[in-house]
Structures are given as structure tokens and as C-alpha cells.
Amino acid sequence: MKSFHERLRAARIEQGFTQEELAKAIGVTKSTMAKYDRGDLEPNISNIMKLSQVLCVSVDYLLFGEDPLENELRACVEMLEYKMIGKVDNAVDRIEIKSSALQNFFAEIFDAYEIWSSRDDQYTDAIFEYDAKIDSIIEKTVDDIKKERVIKSKVTVEKMRAELANRAKLISEKEND
């Protein structure tokens, strides 16, 4: 299992940040960020939370290597199975979700449930097929959500880089005056 600093470095690189850019984003020096990256220094909880937000990863992932997303999706499936039985038709239309990955997740869960509940052999092989389908849907959704996070993060990184370039230009112009 990767250590904190290995997960931090991997997330930083995956999101396209240099040590200097990430340091500025969370308000620490480049040398402090380099120490975090090497594992020579552990950030305080405030900086861990900032890192989590900037890198679009959970605090649980940074600290323990666990992403709670899969567990949250499984809890959603259970909630849907218990609370939406009999109300499955058009239930997705009543749920307002901005994430296309989560919209697809709910639609696929409802479809899988409808297929399973309409079968005569619900309590034989069908339940195993249903469970395998749910596992597949969850795995796909976790991947899709991570892709959405990366896209969102890359847009944020580009905005931050543009802002840093503008600030550098203003400083340079003031120095030339």
C-alpha cells in the first residue's frame, strides 16, 4: 500500500500540478511542499484538507488510501432497493443531479432492478446476476466520477496558471515603471 507522501505525489502529478503551483494553491512554501512530496514532513490537518480540495481527492484517500466513493454508491443502491421498491418508474426524473456519471448510475441501477424484479426466478441465479450487474455499475461509476473530477481539476489548474501569469506580468510591469 502506498504511503501518504506517495499518494500525495501521485495525485499532484495526475492533476498536473508542479510542487510550486500546489504550494501556492494551499499557502505553503515550495520547500515545504517538496518535504511533503518526499515524506520528510507531514502536513497539518488544515493543509491536508486544502490538499484534498485542490487535488479533488478525499481526505480518506490521502490519509488511508481509501476512497469512500464506492461505499457511498453501495449505500445508495441499498437505499434505492429498500425505499424505491414499487416507485421505480420515472424515479430518476425526480432526482436532480448535476453529475452525468451519477445520473447514469441511478438510471442503470433502476434498469437493473426492473429487469431483476420482472423475472420469475428472482431468488435463484437471477440474484447473482443482479449483484454482478450492480458491482459492474458501481465500478464504472467510480471511474466516471474520477474522470469528471480530473476534468474539473484541469480547468481549475488552467485558471490558476493564467492568474499566476497575470500576476507575474503585473509585477514585472510595476518593476519596469
pLDDT value of residue 18: 92
Looking at 44, 66, 88, the residue that finishes a domain is 66
Distance CA 155, CA 142 (A): 20
The enclosing domain of 55 has a CATH number of: 1.10.260.40
Using one digit for the tens of pLDDT, what is the confidence trace for 67-114? 666 666 766 676 666 555 555 444 444 445 566 777 777 778 778 877
What string of DSSP letters covers 57-104? --HHHHHHS--THHHHHHHHHHHHHHHSTT--TTGGGG-----HHHHH
Do 38 and 82 have their domain in common? Answer: no
Q: Which cell numbers hold the place of 6?
A: 506517495
Domain containing 93: what range? Answer: 69-146
Same-domain status, 14 and 80: no
Statement to judge: residues 94 and 79 lie in one domain: yes
Shared-domain flag, residues 37 and 99: no
pTM over 0.85: no
Residues 117 and 79 in one domain: yes
Number of compact structural domains in the chain: 2
Q: Is the pLDDT of residue 8 over 80?
A: yes
Alpha-carbon 76 to chain mean position: 16
For residues 75 and 26, membership in a common domain is answered with no
Per-residue pLDDT, averaged over 42-65, amounts to 86
User: Does 174 fall in a domain?
Assistant: no
Residue 53 lies in a domain: yes
For residues 76 and 123, membership in a common domain is answered with yes
Residue type at 122 in one-letter notation: Q
